[in-house]
C-alpha cells in the first residue's frame, strides 16, 4: 500500500513535468520550423538530441563531474547552514553579529566571487564545491533559523516547567519543530546547487558541464550548449525530487509535499 502510494505521488510529480516538457519541445520545434532561425542562434530539438547522442560519453563524463560538485556543495552548504542556525538558537546574543554576515553571503555577486574562489581553492573540485556551498548556505540557514525561532510557545513553556535546560529544549523541542522549515530550505537549495557548480566551472575548470558550455560556445556549437542546459535542468529536477522525497520522510507527519 505504501509503495503504491509513493508510486502515485511520484507520477503526480513527474507526470505534469513530462507534459510541460513535451509541450515546450513541441512549441520549440514548431517555432524553428516556422521562423527558420540560423542553427547557430536557435538549433532545433532534433539537432540538440543528435548532439546529445553524438557526444553521449563526453557529456556523461562531464555531467558526473558537475553532479559530484552539486552533491558535495549541497552537503557542505546544508551542514554549514544548519550549524549556523543552531549556534544562533543556542546562543541568541550572537544573532546580531552573525545574521548580518549570513545575509551578506547572499548579497555578494557570485560572478565576482568565483574567480577568487578559484585562486584560493584551485581549478579542481574545491572551488566549485565552495561556490555551490556559498549559494546554498543562505536558504538553509535562514529557513532553519526561522523554524527554530517559531517553535510553539506552549511547548517551550512546558519544557521550562519540567526543568529542561536550554540545550535540552533546543534538541527536544525547537529542533523537531523546525524540521519542516529545514525541509523547505533543502528543497530550495537543491535547485540552487547546479548554479553554484556551473558558475564555479565558468570561472576556471578542466571539466564539467559548465566547462563544456564554454568550449562549445567558443566554437559556436549552440546545439551542444543547449544539450548541456537540458542535462543540467533534468539533473536539477531529479535532485530536487530526491531531496523532496527524503524531506517527506524526515517530516512524515506533514505528508508528502513534493
State the average pLDDT over residues 154-163: 68
pLDDT of 102 above 90: no
pLDDT band at 2 (very low <50, low <70, confident <90, very high): very low
| Same domain membership, residue 115 and residue 25 | no
What burial letters (b/e) apply to 71-93, b meaning 16+ CB within 10 Å? bbbbebbbebbbebbbebbeeee
| Same domain membership, residue 108 and residue 24 | no
| Same domain membership, residue 76 and residue 32 | no
Q: What is the pLDDT of residues 36-49, one digit of tens each?
A: 888 788 888 888 99
Q: How many CB atoms lie within 10 A of CB 237?
A: 16
Q: What is the pLDDT of residues 164-192, one digit of tens each?
A: 677 667 767 777 888 888 888 899 899 88
- DSSP secondary-structure letter at 6? H
| Same domain membership, residue 128 and residue 97 | yes
pLDDT band at 157 (very low <50, low <70, confident <90, very high): low
| Same domain membership, residue 196 and residue 105 | yes
Three-state DSSP string of 144-198: HHHHHHCCCHHHHHHHHHCCCCHHHHHHHHHHHHHHHHHHHHHHHHHHHHHHHHH
**164: CATH:** 1.10.3720.10
| Same domain membership, residue 50 and residue 26 | no
pLDDT of 29 above 90: no
Return d(Cα 107, Cα 86) in angstroms, integer.
Answer: 22
Q: Which residues contact 239 (CB under 8 A, 6 or more apart)?
A: 70, 71, 74, 190, 191, 193, 194
State the average pLDDT over residues 103-117: 78
| Same domain membership, residue 160 and residue 206 | yes
| Same domain membership, residue 160 and residue 131 | yes
Domain enclosing residue 11, as ranges? 1-36
Q: What is the pLDDT of residues 191-227, one digit of tens each?
A: 888 888 898 888 888 889 999 999 999 898 999 999 9
Q: What is the pLDDT of residues 236-252, one digit of tens each?
A: 989 999 988 888 887 76
Mean pLDDT of the chain: 82
Q: How many domains does the chain divide into?
A: 2
Share of the chain above pLDDT 70, in %: 86
pLDDT band at 73 (very low <50, low <70, confident <90, very high): very high
| Same domain membership, residue 171 and residue 105 | yes
pLDDT band at 66 (very low <50, low <70, confident <90, very high): very high
| Same domain membership, residue 106 and residue 171 | yes
| Same domain membership, residue 241 and residue 168 | yes
Return d(Cα 80, Cα 134) in angstroms, integer.
Answer: 9
* Chain length of the chain: 258
| Same domain membership, residue 248 and residue 123 | yes
Q: Which residues contact 40 (CB under 8 A, 6 or more apart)?
A: 220, 222
pLDDT band at 232 (very low <50, low <70, confident <90, very high): very high
Residue 19, CA distances (Å) to 23, 26, 229 in order:
6, 11, 19
Amino acid at each position: 500500500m505504501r509503495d503504491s502510494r509513493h508510486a502515485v505521488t511520484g507520477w503526480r510529480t513527474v507526470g505534469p513535468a513530462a507534459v510541460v516538457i513535451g509541450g515546450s519541445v513541441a512549441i520549440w520545434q514548431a517555432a524553428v520550423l516556422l521562423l527558420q532561425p540560423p542553427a547557430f542562434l536557435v538549433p532545433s530539438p532534433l539537432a540538440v538530441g543528435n548532439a546529445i547522442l553524438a557526444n553521449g560519453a563526453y557529456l556523461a563524463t562531464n555531467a558526473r563531474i558537475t553532479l559530484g560538485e552539486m552533491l558535495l556543495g549541497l552537503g557542505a552548504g546544508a551542514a554549514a547552514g544548519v550549524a549556523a542556525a543552531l549556534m544562533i538558537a543556542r546562543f541568541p546574543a550572537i544573532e546580531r553579529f552573525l545574521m548580518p554576515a549570513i545575509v551578506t553571503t547572499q548579497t555578494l555577486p557570485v560572478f565576482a566571487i568565483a574567480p577568487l574562489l578559484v585562486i584560493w581553492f584551485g581549478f579542481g573540485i574545491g572551488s566549485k564545491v565552495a561556490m555551490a556551498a556559498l549559494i546554498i548556505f543562505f536558504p538553509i540557514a535562514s529557513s532553519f533559523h526561522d523554524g527554530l525561532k517559531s517553535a510553539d510557545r506552549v511547548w517551550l513553556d512546558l519544557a521550562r516547567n519540567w526543568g529542561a535546560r536550554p540545550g535540552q529544549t533546543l534538541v527536544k523541542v525547537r529542533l523537531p519543530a523546525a524540521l519542516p522549515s529545514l525541509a523547505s530550505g533543502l528543497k530550495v537549495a537543491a535547485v540552487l546547487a547546479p548554479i553554484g557548480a556551473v558558475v564555479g566551472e565558468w570561472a576556471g575548470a578542466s571539466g564539467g558541464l559548465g566547462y563544456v558550455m564554454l568550449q562549445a560556445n567558443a566554437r559556436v556549437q549552440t546545439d551542444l550548449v543547449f544539450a548541456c542546459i537540458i542535462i543540467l535542468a533534468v539533473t536539477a529536477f531529479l535532485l530536487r525530487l530526491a531531496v523532496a522525497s527524503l524531506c517527506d520522510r524526515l517530516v512524515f507527519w506533514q505528508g508528502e509535499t513534493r
